[in-house]
A and B are shown apart, each in its own frame.
Chain A
Amino acid sequence: MKKGNTVFFKNKPCIESFSAVCGSKEKEGIIGQYADIALDDDMYGESTYEKAECKMLTTAILQCIEKRGMTEKDVDVLISGDLLNQIISASFAARDYDIPFLGVYSACSTMSESIMLGAMLVNAGYVKRAVAATGSHFASAERQYRYPLELGCTRPPQSQWTVTGAGSCMIGKSGKIKIVSATMGKVCDFGVTDVNNMGAAMAPAAADSIMQHLKDTGTQSDDYDMILTGDLGALGSRIVKDLCWEKGFDISKVHVDCGEIIYKVVENEFQGGSGAGCSATVLNSYVLTKMQAGLYKRILFAATGALLSTVSSGQGESIPCISHVVEMEL
């Protein structure tokens, strides 16, 4: 059933299992003790950062399947994407598995998009089990979007720190956490051209999708224990609250941003964390663990993505952004 841009899952697909791998810097923060594997060496024993990112993603997928006591044969489809050109981390991780692979790209909102697509497939009965996964790596993202680490560039104060980590979750038919509905995001562009200020660019997309979801479902923000955005950072979080408040939706009491909470010391990381791995690791470690324990009963997960490339920003284009919303409840 669909109302507005929101799809309602009447067969209630569930999160059967979840797993997260995080880097050494993330280990010191809130997700350190909840992640399945917290690395000390962010090269993960590989020779390049790209290989390390791919290995983290591979490990997160494997952990997720094994935690459920299953093998890859039990999974019908793998939906995954990442931030690198031609989504190589996801595709290369998928070559290690005997599972059909659907590659998706939605920048940092890849986690919510892949969960949404997985839930749609499971709800419709086309597949029994889907695994949604994504990840990012600080060093490979710096090379992809900004400058290689070797250049030693100074970071501006409005910049965010790409999270080194990967997260995955299995969507199936039995489980405690149910996926109730999902809102498909629209691409929003408010003309922000500052590539160091992704939070400000992504906030309107997050506000748009969250408000659309509340309208379509006829719920209030207070009905949720948490509205979790992806990687808006400290500045972007303020903007999204203001934008919603202007339209008459007060989300300030329940809004939490993954990027804002992931690191212990925010000053050194400026605006907080970002990247596809940011929402993926926070959701698949801390949030879902707490949800399973009953601390949160109903949450909105609205990961946000900036759909730019180095070519588009080099040609002076503004940054179009998107946010997909997934509603989960016990």
Chain B
Amino acid sequence: MGQEILIIALAYLKAFAVGGGICLIAQLIINFTDLTAGKILVYFMLAGVVLTAIGLYQPLVDFAGAGATVPISGFGYLLANGAMRGAEKGLFYAVTGALSAASAGVTAAVVFAFIMSLIFKSRTKRS
């Protein structure tokens, strides 16, 4: 029992450290470069694609789980992974694989965004 709690706690800690580390890099980019938020978002996603393609992102996902898949670089990982898996079946599936893998996430994002827009209204933040 004690062992199990320790494993769970360790998994949380790993996810927090890796996810936090990715966000830390983004915060440093915001503070010390003139890149806009939109560009940072796209670069992080592309970085996820490239790192997955050269085999560096998969070990990170194995190690940290959601800590590596939840940030936007995890979306790049999902696209690249889908394409690579599709490629095993043929060229056609290499093209469709990326979006098939991401379809659940994208659809969920659209549906939940729609529901939230019905319930809440945007307003100016305080700071």
Contact = CB atoms under 8 A, between A and B. Distances in A.
A156 interface: yes
B30 A156 contact: yes
Interface in A126-169: 138-139, 146-151, 153-154, 156-157, 164
A147 B37 contact: yes
Interface residues of A, number: 25
Contacts of B122: 139, 148-150
Nearest to B37: A153
B124 interface: yes
Interface in B80-127: 122-127
Interface of A: 23, 25, 42-43, 49, 138-139, 146-151, 153-154, 156-157, 164, 193-197, 268-269
Given A147-B38, A195-B36, A196-B36, A156 B123 contact: no
B124 A42 contact: yes
By secondary structure, the A interface counts as loop
25 contacts: A23-B124, A25-B124, A49-B124, A139-B123, A146-B36, A147-B38, A148-B122, A149-B122, A149-B123, A149-B124, A149-B125, A150-B122, A151-B37, A154-B27, A154-B30, A154-B37, A156-B30, A156-B31, A157-B31, A193-B34, A194-B34, A195-B34, A195-B36, A196-B34, A197-B34
A313 B127 CA distance: 25
Contacts of B123: 42-43, 139, 149
Nearest to A138: B124
A25 B123 CA distance: 13
A153 B35 CA distance: 13
A12 B30 CA distance: 49
Interface string B13-34: 0000000000000010011001
A189 to B, nearest CB: 16
Contacts of A43: 123
Q: A-B pairs with the 4 shortest C-beta distances?
A: A194-B34, A268-B127, A153-B37, A156-B30
Nearest to B23: A154
Given A139-B123, A148-B122, A156-B31, 17 more contacts: A42-B124, A43-B123, A139-B122, A139-B124, A146-B36, A146-B37, A149-B123, A149-B124, A149-B125, A150-B122, A151-B37, A154-B30, A154-B37, A156-B30, A164-B124, A195-B34, A196-B34
B113 to A, nearest CB: 9
A23 B34 CA distance: 29
A277 to B, nearest CB: 13
B127 A269 contact: yes
A25 B36 contact: no
